[in-house]
Amino acid sequence: MVGIKDIAKAAGVSISTVSYALNGSTKVTEQTRQRIMAIAAELNYVPNMAARTLKKQQTNIIGVYLADYAGSFYGELLDGIKRGLAAYDYEMIVCSGQKSHLFIPERMVDGAIILDWTFKTQEIEMLADRGHQMVVLDREIAKDNISRVLLDNKGGATLAVERLLAAKTQHVYLVTGSMGYDNAQRLSASTKELTRFGIEYEIIAGNFTEPSGYAAAEKIAEKIDQGLATFPLDIFSFNDEMAVGIYKFFAKRKEKIGQDIRIVGFDNIEISSFLTPRLATIAYSKHRWGMVAAEKIIRLIQGEKVEDEAIYTTFVPGSSLGH
């Protein structure tokens, strides 16, 4: 591999001169810099990022930790983070899995944005105590070096239940998601509101994926076939991906969504507007969520005081809840 010693030898200059030129220092003339850059290109020189990081103690890269990449939900969020970081001349690397956690203590990234329920809270707190800056999107941690940008899951779930109550629901199937903060908050608010109004409910475990929504619909169909369900049958799917799976299952049966089966989703992903009938769902700006998270992490890194922020939800009407 070509190093700066090789460039210095080819250019007939010192190693320090090459280093100044490659790093844009004013200690060399523009003419010298351009000549050295041309030689570096001819030799196919690739900068050693690890060495540069050790010297500067800065990578200008933020690690974004996700439990999963599946589904359309993450596209808008990551685009928001990317655009937010670009405004500060930072880039992101998307991470998943235990080994990638080492990027933080080894300072391969300058900070982290975490939406990963498998990333243990105790580990996050330990990293914060060691001076690493992080923004969490999926848990409540009050600690120095950590900022929270949390989705108003309880408000969104309450909105969904309110709409089902307005539709005179008698029994609701709650199709839940993976373990973690978002799911727990939606479940807590839903059951509290349904209990308050004396509405029966049944919990069917999913994992926020389309196949788990399909499997949940199969279980609901068994109730129908056994004569244990009454129409209209109401479902609150804790995200739209699972609602898509429910749609796909009932497309093969005689029950009609929007008439026999009424559904409310959560997330307002793009495909929701193309479903027939249109899926009623809970919306929020995933793009803004990402932009705000990016702003918070950079401000933390710069040593500024950062306040926590909430991302609020709204209801998007759809014929899946009836006419």
Q: Hey, what amino acid is at 204?
A: I
Q: Hey, what amino acid is at 182?
A: D
Spatial separation of the C-alpha atoms in residues 164 and 238, rounded to whole Å:
14
Q: What is the pLDDT of residues 180-208, one digit of tens each?
A: 899 999 999 999 999 999 999 999 999 99
Structure tokens at 156: 């969104």
pLDDT value at residue 44? 87
Verify that 208 and 276 share a domain, yes or no. yes
pLDDT at position 220 over 80: yes
Spatial separation of the C-alpha atoms in residues 260 and 253, rounded to whole Å:
11
pLDDT value at residue 52? 55
* Residue range(s) defining the domain that contains residue 275: 153-283
Contact 64, 95 (CB under 8 A): yes
User: The domain spanning residue 98 has which CATH number?
Assistant: 3.40.50.2300
Domain-located, residue 323: no
Spatial separation of the C-alpha atoms in residues 238 and 294, rounded to whole Å:
26
Q: What is the pLDDT of residues 83-98, one digit of tens each?
A: 999 999 999 999 999 9
Verify cis geometry, omega within 30 degrees of 0, for the bond prior to 277.
yes
- Residue identified by tokens 């900070």 is 111
Total of domains in the chain: 3
Query: Which uninterrupted H or E stretch holds 6?
Result: helix 4-11
Verify cis geometry, omega within 30 degrees of 0, for the bond prior to 232.
yes
Buried residues in 79-88 as b, exposed as e (16+ CB within 10 A)? ebbbebbeee
Verify that 157 and 66 share a domain, yes or no. no
Verify that 147 and 294 share a domain, yes or no. yes
pLDDT value at residue 50? 54
Spatial separation of the C-alpha atoms in residues 162 and 100, rounded to whole Å:
41
pLDDT-above-70 percentage for the chain: 96
Spatial separation of the C-alpha atoms in residues 22 and 182, rounded to whole Å:
46
Verify that 114 and 224 share a domain, yes or no. no
Verify that 262 and 207 share a domain, yes or no. yes
pTM of the model: 0.81
pLDDT value at residue 71? 67
Domain-located, residue 29: yes
Handedness of CA 78, 81, 86, 87 (dihedral sign): positive
Domain-located, residue 242: yes
Query: Which uninterrupted H or E stretch holds 227?
Result: none
- pLDDT category, 49, cuts 50, 70, 90? low
In this prediction, residues 244-249 reach a mean pLDDT of: 98
pLDDT value at residue 23? 77
For 98-138, the three-class secondary structure string (H helix, E strand, C coil) is HHHHHHCCCCCCCEEEEECCCCCHHHHHHHHHCCCEEEECC
Verify that 145 and 290 share a domain, yes or no. yes
Domain-located, residue 265: yes
Verify that 177 and 237 share a domain, yes or no. yes
Verify that 166 and 198 share a domain, yes or no. yes
Verify that 168 and 186 share a domain, yes or no. yes
Verify that 137 and 80 share a domain, yes or no. yes
Domain-located, residue 318: no
Structure tokens at 136: 């969490």
